[in-house]
Structure 1
Amino acid sequence: MITSIIIMILSGAALYIYTKWLLQNEIEEELYSEKNRVEHLLEQNPELVGIPPIITAEKTEIAQPNILVDTLIYDPLQDEIELFRQLSGTKNINGQNYMITVRAMTIESENILFAILFTFLVVILLAFIFLFYLNKSRNEKLWKPFFVNLDRLKSFSLRSNQPLSLEDSEILEFHELNREMEDLTAKIQIDYRNLKQFTEDISHEMQTPLAIMQAKIETIINDIDINEAQFNEFSSLQTDIGRLKKLNKKLILLAKIENNQFTGTETTSINTTFKETIQNIQELAAINIKLKEENTIEVPMDGSLARVLCNNLVSNAVKHNSNNQPVLVVIKDGSVLVINSGTEVLERPDQVFERFYKESKKRDSTGLGLSIVKKICDYYGFTPSYRFENNKHIFQVHFVV
């Protein structure tokens, strides 16, 4: 539209200038023709005085070249002052110089000029409006399949068993794009199902041999006479197998979160989930865990993920607590703060939620607990953070999205 308006203005100005130049040339040619006629009439009738104010002929002693000017002259017939184009000059006829002046009214030419320009602009404007709405309706028809397919792409899910079906288009480029998108999404669906199946299979297959290995070690320890060194080795091996089982479960959980396999969105009470978690942990760990509730938090999320989130936060605080100080859980302002005592700040606090990052030397630490917390928060749009204040490690999760 902007381009069309600029073209209309420039073309209108060009038409105005060019038409005005043509009309002025035509008037000047007519004036020269009239002057030649007057000169021929003067040769036949030296006393001719012309037709004022259009034509005048006066005797003069001074020779003057032809001069073209615009002038305002009173027209008695119109009873008003009009604009004329005037050609004046002297001509020697039969030994006598005559000042011959011929004039042509320019008002009519201006009216013609404006009529032409107005007609041109109206025609161009109507053509522009017609083409605009014609192109708009045509483009809407051509682009309709594209936007329909775009909506289908936005609602497409890898978890669905239905293939992506796109509306065909008469545009060659859109047709080829649709075909490539259908092939691509079909391949991605197959890869996703294969990866999901592999994840489930490896989770199941690894747990069984690990459990068998632990059972066999327990049998050896209980049924066979072994010395203290051998007992320590078998105990260490059992611990490593238990850690491997725990690591496998956490990696599978991370994979499921990243693959969006948790679709439950029931309303979950964070207060209740933390109460259950604290009660369960206190039965296993000889440490005091205090819960301070200033308000209630209920969020739409999968209940199992809520329990994992709470368990990982509290377990991390208990595991890395120093001097057997109480662990404090505070629920307020749409956030949960899990606070445990510590002797020094972490070396790299910005990496505390990264996978496999850990500063603790404890063997039972996998470095995945807080990474799972971060993944769950990202999945639901929560905001996790960490800070160290007054010899306290403070992990906070803001649940208000």
Structure 2
Amino acid sequence: MSLSSIALYFYLRNILEVEIEEQLYSTAARIESSLEAGKNPYSLPPAVEVATSNKSLPDILKDTLIYDPSQDEIELFRELSSFKKINNINYKITVRDLVVESENILMAIIISYLLIIITVFVVLYYFNKVGNSYLWKPFFNTLEQIKEFSLSTKEPVALSISNIREFSELNTQVKILTDKVRGDYNNLKQFTEDVSHELQTPLAIMQVKIESVINDAPLSNQQYDQLTSIQKDIKRVTQMNKGLTLLTKIENNQFINPKQVSLTSIVEGNIANFKEIFQQDIQFVNENELLVTMDYHLAEILCNNLISNAIKHHIGSGDIVIEITKEHLSVCNKGEKPILHADRIFNRFYKENESVKSTGLGLAIAKKICDMYNFKLTYTFEKGFHIFLVQFS
């Protein structure tokens, strides 16, 4: 449209020039006819000038500048000089026409055209925006429903009805997909819960029977050691089953009751419980009360796993140091060397030292909990201490 306005400008200017030239030739022809009729030549400077001439030249068409006393300015004229021999007398007929008015007309047309372009652009933009907003409304509604889709809820996806075939097909496929995903999720969840529940009962029965055998029957040292080892393995399998079930629940976002909890109080309770079981001294540095928003049960598991991990892997003398500030929780235990594969320490079942009997799920669970609430759990080794730091800010 911009290029067309430029083309229109030159096209109209050419048309106006042709019209002015036609008018000049017409006026010159009238003067010739008057002279041929024997009338006295007349002049009306600067529009018309008739004078005798001893030259005979072809017509001369050009632009010229002439001072206009009425406007007190120089005006642009189109000039036609015609040399004619009439009644055996050579005449020079000069006809001029003002060009300024034609330029004004030209600019008025161009400005009007540009205004029309701008008006059309604004109107089309508005109607396109409103039309597209209405046209794409079902699509964005479907997109919003997909964003809000959750496996933990039983409510179906509320998709709007659309008369547009493509959006209608999209809604149909989205509904089929979400129903299938929710069905698969519920089946997997039910299977996991059933397996976990069914495992707990035989493991508990085995534990009771072994305890009964140990307590009632006379056993040799070898039998006692074997039964004790089996008892520990059963306990480990039970803990592993609970840990995997907990990880599954965390990954499926089944903990949806966050509230403000005091990690300071939870850590103090854990320290008191561990001191009754283990002999290591625990130094608690409490600078500020640490309040976070999360599920209370997961907060207990997070603190318990970090502290129990420090106790299990503590080497040599010295205290286990637990520090709480307004923005972080750190748990430090003595160690001989840094962990060889620190990048794998939060993986499931990864154990740096096989001599320590553990499920290998404690730190993986702690990492999952931190990821769930966008906390940052990191490991470093400084000055002979393994340091696990949870940043809450």
TM-score w.r.t. length of structure 2: 0.91
Give the structure 2 partner of residue 141 of structure 1.
Answer: 134
Give distance in 1, aligned partners of 2:61 and 2:163.
65
Following TM superposition, where does structure 1 have runs of at least 4 consecutive aligned residues deviating by more than 6 angstroms?
Answer: 76-79
2:22 to 13, 21, 29: 29
Q: Does 1:310 align with 2:332?
A: no
CA distance in 2, matches of 1:82, 1:68: 17
Could you tell me how far apart the structure 1 residues matched to 2:215 and 2:77 are?
A: 129
CA contact (8 A) 1:53 1:75 kept: no
* Cα deviation, residue 67, structure 1: 2.6
> Which 5+ residue runs of structure 1 have no aligned equivalent?
1-6
Give RMSD over aligned pairs. 2.5
Deviations 1:152-196 (A, max 9, x none): 333332211111111112333222222222221111211221121
1:20 aligned partner, one-letter code: R
Shift of 1:43: 3.5
- Secondary structure of the 1:274 match is helix
Distance 1:64 1:367, change over 3 A: farther
Indicate the residue corresponding to 1:346 in structure 2: 339
Aligned AA (1:114): M
Superimposed CA distance per residue, residues 221-267 of structure 1 (whole angstroms, 9 cap, x where no aligned partner): 55666654444444333322222221111111111000001112122
TM-superposed CA distance for 1:85, in Å, is 0.8
**One-letter code aligned to 2:61:** L
Are 2:273 and 1:280 equivalent residues in the alignment?
Answer: yes
Q: How does 1:189-268 map to 2 (within 5 A)?
A: 189-221=182-214, 227-268=220-261
Is the 2:312–2:356 Cα contact (8 Å) retained in structure 1?
A: no
Q: Which residue pairs with 1:54 in the alignment?
A: 47
Query: 2:120, 2:21 → 1: CA distance?
Result: 35
**SS of 1:365's equivalent?**
coil
Where does residue 129 of structure 1 map in the other structure?
122
Amino acid at match of 2:314: N
Q: Is the 8 A contact 1:340 1:394 kept in 2?
A: yes
Mapping for residues 388-399 of structure 1, pairs under 5 Å: 388-399=381-392
Q: Within the alignment, does 1:15 sit opposite 2:8 as a pair?
A: yes
Name which of 95, 105, 108 aligns with 2:101: 108
Cα distance in 2 for residues equivalent to 1:241 and 1:151: 48
Q: Which residue of 1 aligns with 2:59?
A: 66
The yes-or-no answer on 1:160 pairing with 2:150 is no
Comparing 267-276 and 226-235, the one that deviates more: 226-235
Q: Who is 1:4 aligned against? A: none
Q: Is the 8 A contact 2:68 2:75 kept in 1?
A: yes
Q: Distance in 2 between matches of 1:147 and 1:180?
A: 15
Cα deviation code 1:282-313 (max 9, x no counterpart): 21112111211111011121111111101100
2:285 corresponding residue in structure 1: 292
- 286-295 vs 78-87, which deviates more? 78-87
Q: CA deviation at 1:24?
A: 1.1
> 1:70 deviation in Å?
1.7
8 Å CA contact 2:24–2:80 kept in 1: the answer is yes
Q: How many Å apart are 1:84 and its aligned residue?
A: 1.1
More displaced stretch, 252-261 vs 81-90:
81-90
Tell me how many residue pairs correspond in the alignment.
393
TM-superposed deviation, 1:370 = 0.9
Change (3 A) 1:377 1:204: same
TM-score by length of 1: 0.89
Q: SS of 2:149's equivalent?
A: coil
Gaps of 5+ in 2: none
CA distance in 1, matches of 2:239, 2:266: 22
The whole-number CA distance in structure 2 between the counterparts of 1:76 and 1:394 is 98
Read off the aligned partner of 1:269 and give its amino acid letter: S
* Preserved contact between residue 83 and residue 93 of structure 2 (Cα < 8 Å): yes
Q: CA deviation at 1:395?
A: 0.8
Q: What is the CA deviation profile of residues 98-128 of structure 1, one whole-angstrom value per residue up to 9, with x for unaligned ones?
A: 3222111112212321232233233333333
1:334 aligns with 2:307: no
Residues in 2 aligned to 1:260 and 1:346: alpha-carbon distance in whole angstroms: 31
Q: Is the 8 A contact 2:330 2:390 kept in 1?
A: yes
Amino acid at match of 1:112: I
Partners of 2:377 and 2:86 in 1: CA distance: 109
User: 2:254 aligns to what SS in structure 1?
Assistant: coil
**CA–CA distance in 2 between the matches of 1:51 and 1:320?**
117
The 2-side partners of 1:321 and 1:144 are apart by 60
Distance 1:232 1:77 in 2: 128
Q: Equivalent pairs: percent with the same residue?
A: 48
Which shows bigger deviation, 19-28 or 371-380? Answer: 19-28
Counterpart code for 2:178: T
Pair 76,225 (structure 1): closer, same or farther in 2 beyond 3 Å: closer
